Structure 1
Amino acid sequence: MNGKTHLMGGLAACAAVESFTAGSEWSPLFYVGGMIGAFLPDICHVHSTIGRKLPILSRVISFLVGHRTFTHSLLFLVLIYFIVTFIAPEGTNLVIGLLTGMISHIILDMATVRGVKLFFPFPLRVRLPIYIRTGGRFEGFVQVGLLIWLVVWGYQFIHVWL
């Protein structure tokens, strides 16, 4: 998936988490974390949105593990969780947002032809039964679906607060 799809996916996933946890206090850091998390797994791809921002780190990671392997795995999710909670022990909103965005990214990439190595270092590739080609026509439909979800959620959110 491309960067726009991942960004909308991360925000939509955060909106879904907020919808299903009514009464919880989510700060703007939750959504910032979701946006960062939506891009973070593609640090292994030098031409990705985050890869272009951090080119040296992206090239090193790409060289060491390749694309859609370690950074798209459960192991990476756990590692990021421990790193971020160590750096910001009081940053619960940020951590949950970051993991929410990362999970949405991984699920979206599981819906592509190549899938992901979810159980890295094991070589098994995981792909959803229905998948699309990255950058293809159907990715546009995914973007529209995510946008509709965000608009509906945004309307409900604003309607509640008015």
Structure 2
Amino acid sequence: MQGKTHMGIGAAVALLIARKQPGIDTTAMMTIGAAVGALIPDLDHDKSKISNLLPVKNKLFKKLCYVLIGAILVSAGYSYKLKYLYFGALYIALLGFAHHRGFTHSLLALGIISVAVLSLRDHNLWFYNGLVIGYVSHLISDMFTKRGIELFFPCKKNIRFIITMTTGGKIEAVLNYAVTILIVFLVSRYI
């Protein structure tokens, strides 16, 4: 699926969950977290929205940058005794060796991100809960694509649902419009 669809689905799921929580600020933080979290698994794709935030365009150099950033985070985590940085560092360093819909689309990656997020929850619980919600929504959404995902990485078998769609196809466009309408409806309940 495309980044805009992942962001929309992540935000819609967060809005559905957050409506039972007190306050608009809680809802806003969870929704923003989910929209960001829904993009994170596509760091392994050279042309994704989130991957293009790194100013490096060369594929090999980008992978080396991920490994270097991971090493820097390990060093910082050790120096400042911030254990959660180890998990973030591990995730980013593994990006240097990942292929699209492999490691980052697996339960292993979800576990690493969840532990890193769990360690950070004292700073803003709702934003970080949203990150995990967005990440999970991304994995489930990509299981509806024809290619599926390597959910049980390092096992190379792609897992997908029986009903699938083409990334960027007409069904995804309709889904994107439906999700947008749902978001507008859910947000209007706060106004």
User: Structure 2 length as normaliser, TM-score?
Assistant: 0.73
In structure 2, stretches of 5+ residues that fail to align are: 57-61, 67-93
| Higher alpha-carbon Rg | 2
**TM alignment of 1:31-110, pairs within 5 A:** 31-54=31-54, 55=56, 56=62, 64-87=97-120, 89-110=122-143
Q: Are the counterparts in 2 of residues 30 and 93 from structure 1 also a CA contact under 8 Å?
A: yes
1:151: Cα distance to partner?
A: 1.8
Quick one: structure 1 residues 23 and 45, their matched pair in 2 at CA, closer, same or farther if it must change by over 3 Å?
A: closer
- RMSD (CA atoms): 2.1
Change (3 A) 1:59 1:107: farther
Contact 1:2 1:134 in 2 (8 A): yes
Tell me what 2:74 maps to.
none
- Separation in 2, partners of 1:115, 1:15: 26
**Residue 139 (structure 1) aligns with:** 172
Distance in 2 separating the partners of 1:58 and 1:32: 29
Q: TM-score, normalised by structure 1?
A: 0.85
Identity of aligned pairs, percent? 33
For 1:49, what is the secondary structure of its paired residue? coil
**Counterpart AA for 1:115:** G
Work out the CA distance in 2 between the residues paired with 1:155 and 1:72: 33
SS where residue 64 of structure 1 aligns?
A: coil
Aligned counterpart, 1:13: 13
Q: Report SS of the residue matched to 1:121.
A: coil
Q: How many residues align?
A: 156
Mapped to 2, the partners of 1:145 and 1:59 lie a distance apart of 38
Please list every run of 5 or more consecutive structure 1 residues that lacks an aligned counterpart in the other structure: none
Q: Kindly state the Cα deviation for residue 90 of structure 1 after the two structures are TM-superposed.
A: 3.4
Between stretches 44-53 and 142-151, larger displacement belongs to 142-151
Whether the 8 Å contact between 2:11 and 2:134 is mirrored in structure 1 is: yes
Identify the range of structure 1 (117-126 vs 93-102) with the bigger mean alpha-carbon deviation.
Answer: 117-126
